[in-house]
Amino acid sequence: MKKTLSVLLLSWSCFLAGSAVAQSAPTGVGHDMHDMHMSPNHEMDMSHGHDHGAAVPVTYSDLTQTAAMLEKARHATEKYKDVRVAEADGYRAIGPDVPGMGIHYVGSKGGASFDIEQPPILLYEKNRSAAGGFELVGVSYLFSAAAGPDGQPQGAPFPKTLAQWHRHANLCVLVDRSVRSNLSESDCAAQGGDFTAETQWMVHAWIWKDSPTGVFAPTNPSVQ
């Protein structure tokens, strides 16, 4: 159980929302045509005024494989739309209810190795109309690996161009299942808590409630 709690995590302290990219609308056909120049051999030069931004270096294979993995995750966790089923399977709420992340339900098993169909953490938000009073909005995965030169885990199961993993340090899970990040190991032990110097890598996947900042974003502004 201690291993599971260290899973902990809980990105409850991770209030970093992904930044949105603003896109400006075209100013008119006349302007667009003005930016198109004819070269001496009468070929259209489209190089002026057509900055499309940097392309994300992700392959078609990366996209299709990731989509297939997330579809598997949805199929495996659909039963947990009823939070009572999750609780019966050993998931327990840990940490606070945080806008943008909801409530983390940590499982009593899993996390030791990556399994797309057995997420160690389920993400819920309060919803009176949902079964059990909570609505399933996403999942969270853990991964154990050394950090690579780019600061991301080596051999991560999701493409780095799509998912950014993170870790937490010096977390204490207290007996009431609240999480503190401002306690030393000795202070945590004195209060009967479980201390973790550094958690496993973690990533959120908003597969049940779309996030405007991306499916793998640390937070989901739509979650209240």
The more confident residue out of 165 and 198 is 165
- In percent, the amount of the chain with pLDDT more than 70 equals 75
- Residue-level pLDDT at 192: 93
Amino acid letter, residue 193: G
pLDDT at residue number 177: 75
Q: Is the pLDDT score of 29 beyond 50?
A: no
CA 77, CA 119: separation in Å to the nearest integer?
Answer: 8
Per mean pLDDT, which range of 14-18, 126-130, 171-175, 181-185 is the poorest? 14-18
Tell me the C-alpha distance between 13 and 9, whole Å: 9
Q: Which residues of 150-161 are buried (b: 16+ CB within 10 A; e: fewer)?
A: eeebeebbbbbe
Q: What is the pLDDT of the chain when averaged over all its residues?
A: 81
Q: Which contacts (CB < 8 Å, 24+ apart) does range 209-213 have?
A: 209/125, 209/135, 209/137, 209/138, 211/138, 212/20, 213/17, 213/18, 213/19, 213/20
Higher pLDDT, 20 or 88: 88
- Return the percentage of the chain with pLDDT > 90, whole number: 59
Whole-number pLDDT of residue 18: 35
Q: Closest Cα partner for 35 from 51, 58, 22?
A: 51
Residue 94 contacts residue 179 (beta carbons within 8 Å) = yes
The candidate with the shortest Cα–Cα distance to 8, out of 151, 213, 188, is 188
**17: which strand partners?**
none
pLDDT at residue 46, rounded to an integer:
45
What token pair was written down for 107? 């499982």
Q: Which amino acid is at 23?
A: Q
pLDDT in tens, 145-175: 999 999 999 999 999 999 999 988 888 988 8
Q: How many residues does the chain have?
A: 224
Name which residue leads in pLDDT, 54 or 72. 72
For residues 154 and 13, the model is more confident at 154
70: which residues sit within 8 A by CB, 6+ positions away? Answer: 116, 205, 207, 215
pLDDT value at 53 more than 80: no
Q: Is the pLDDT of residue 48 over 90?
A: no
pLDDT value at 127 more than 70: yes
3-state secondary structure of 95: strand
Q: Give the tens place of pLDDT for each residue, 65-114.
A: 999 999 999 999 999 999 999 999 999 999 889 999 999 999 987 677 89
- What pLDDT is stored for residue 187 in this prediction? 93
Q: Over 50: is that where the pLDDT of 32 sits?
A: no
181 pLDDT band (50/70/90 cuts)?
A: confident
